[in-house]
Chain A
């Protein structure tokens, strides 16, 4: 069983994982995908407190998978607060082991600093959600084509390094090539996506250029959504 809890604010990932574990057959592995380290720690805290086995894996800076094995139903504190008075010492021990586990989890993340800043759940993130970047060509500016492509590649790269990232990047017409296999900007767009930036490419354009199967980052969109994002933008950036 797999729960995708990315983009959900705490405490929802933990609550939904808890519900899934209560329903799951004993021994079932419930995999929970979350987008920040703190959510991982809260899930491991849940597992430890309920006396369940758990492991976690960091896929990328915005994707973590926590696997928890559903219990046999006679776990230490399965039935809510009734377990409270029964064994405070036991709970205390569980807390201790959780804490050491967390320490290790934190240490293993070399870039914890950035993660903490970029975490989306309960604190401001580095995106300016009202900012929409429109890439309507795979070249930047008018003139030499080779130079234009080079400039566009540089622009998308520079975008990833800004203090404020856009909420959305829209790609249409020639710009659709940027989000497809073989594009020089693919890694940078993936990086933006990993930071929570929405990458949307025009479906009509992909079809027109025969790139329907080649989209390699983000999602396909339509003219209705493009018009809506552009008209609703707080700031529209067109290189």
Chain B
């Protein structure tokens, strides 16, 4: 019997996250220790932790790692790093140091690991951070990511639940990368679709964060494994609802075609189960629903911003070269958290 050849890409990225429902049940059981300097912990499902060291300095800490979602190890390294670094940007912070987290099979070619780490290190450097070490484990499957520490002024933290009535909602990257990677895994994604997905996933949210910081941003999160709608619901909390304009949603153009072929993940279905009770679709195609539930790897920032500033911010975001848009607005709490039409 032949020993099975290790497979590099089995379908990873943020589609490999535990479902939001499952995770919440576990987290609820863990006792929480109060510390007044922990400005952002896991109370509000935020992206990273923010801890105040002094009146004008706080650290932002985050970590993220996952299995490969693309075949090329170098590209995977870039994407995993961009994804891990993103949480710091979603808080409005600045990256300082990063540590590698690696799981790698002993039987696999070490050059592959070299390529992954090279891709990751380049993204850390692009972020303006220093790669300061790491930790590796021999494991059955490849996983890679970073533990990242950044800094931020304690008064200038973007909470992910800070939105206000009347705000516009901006999304800085296209949705659908989970669907495209799934199509690619079964050999059916077009080169153009995959190229755009890779470009989007490997683009640092640094640039978008620098732009939105210049405007009256009230809330910010990055869209990752739980999909657009779950992250939006978290952002809205119990106080607000959102009206989403389906025509304004940026997505990778091939997605509706791939949805029709059912290149859909378990993660997308878990996301649907998690928030479908809070969402109402009016005259939306099945493809729109699936795109909004699709788990994103290294997705864009979802920003709640003073309405007056929206158009100007969007013009600037467009210069970054990725599909983006003003996707809706924050309104008084209605029957549903989100109405998409």
Please say whether chains A and B are actual partners in one complex. Answer: yes
In the complex, whether A39 has a CB less than 8 A from a CB of chain B is: yes
Beyond A130-B140, A228-B3, is A9–B269 a contact (Cβ under 8 Å)? no
Tell me if B43 counts as interface (CB < 8 A to partner A).
Answer: no
Least Cβ distance of B109 to chain A in Å? 18
B186 at the interface (CB under 8 A from A): yes
Q: Are A9 and B25 in contact (CB under 8 A)?
A: no
Cβ-neighbour of A88 out of B182, B257, B284 (below 8 A): B284
* Segment of B89-97, B153-161, B258-266, B312-320 engaged in the interface with chain A: B258-266
Within the complex, what minimum Cβ distance (angstroms) separates A126 from chain B?
A: 12
Complex interface: stretch among B8-16, B54-62, B112-120, B296-304: B8-16
A94 beta carbon closer than 8 Å to chain B: yes
In the complex, what residue of chain A is closest to B263 when comparing beta carbons?
Answer: A11
Within 8 A of B (CB), among A22-55: 36, 38-39, 41-42, 45-46, 49
CA distance A119 to B18 in the complex (A): 10
Instruction: Report how many A-B pairs have Cβ atoms within 8 Å.
Output: 111
Would you list which residues of chain A between 111 and 126 have a CB under 8 Å from chain B?
A: 113, 116-117, 119, 121-124
Q: Is B273 an interface residue (CB 8 A)?
A: yes
Asked if B286 contacts A122 (CB within 8 A), the reply is no
CB <8 Å contact, A80 and B257? yes
Assuming A11-B262, A84-B285, is B1 touching A225 (CB within 8 A)? yes
Question: B281 contacts the other chain (Cβ, under 8 Å)?
Answer: yes
Q: Which residues of B contact A106 (CB under 8 A)?
A: 273
Write out the residue numbers on chain B whose beta carbons fall within 8 Å of the beta carbon of A42: 262, 264, 266, 269
A10 in contact with B286 (CB, 8 Å): no
- Total count of chain B residues near the partner, CB < 8 A: 39
Question: Known: A11-B186, A225-B1, A228-B1. Is A91-B285 also a contact (CB below 8 A)?
Answer: yes
Chain A: interface residue total (CB-CB under 8 A)? 46
Residues in chain B near residue A41, CB distance under 8 A = 269, 272-273
**Which one of B260, B269, B283, B286 contacts A38 once the chains associate, using CB atoms below 8 Å?**
B269
Is there contact, CB below 8 Å, between B19 and A92? no
Question: Is B147 an interface residue, CB under 8 A from the partner?
Answer: no
Residue in B3, B16, B286 whose beta carbon sits within 8 Å of that of A91 in the complex: B286
Query: Nearest-CB distance from A225 to chain B (Å)?
Result: 6
Flag whether B98 is at the interface (Cβ < 8 A).
no
Q: Which B residues, 1 to 60, have Cβ-Cβ distances below 8 Å to chain A?
A: 1, 3, 10-11, 15-19, 21-22, 25
Please indicate the chain B residues that have their CB under 8 angstroms from the CB of A99 in the complex.
272, 276
Q: A80-B260, A123-B17 are in contact. Are A38 and B1 (CB under 8 A)?
A: no
Q: Is B307 among interface residues, defined by CB-CB distance under 8 A?
A: no
A-B contact list, 8 entries, CB within 8 Å: A12-B186, A38-B269, A92-B284, A103-B276, A116-B19, A117-B18, A123-B266, A232-B3
Q: Which 7 residue pairs across A and B have the least CB separation, nearest first?
A: A10-B266, A38-B266, A122-B266, A116-B22, A121-B266, A91-B286, A14-B262
User: Interface of B with A (CB < 8 Å)?
Assistant: 1, 3, 10-11, 15-19, 21-22, 25, 140, 182, 186, 256-257, 260-267, 269-270, 272-273, 276-277, 281-287, 289
Write the residues of chain A forming the contact surface with B, with a CB cutoff of 8 angstroms: 9-12, 14-15, 18, 36, 38-39, 41-42, 45-46, 49, 77, 80-81, 83-84, 88-89, 91-92, 94-96, 99, 102-103, 106, 113, 116-117, 119, 121-124, 129-130, 224-225, 228, 232, 234
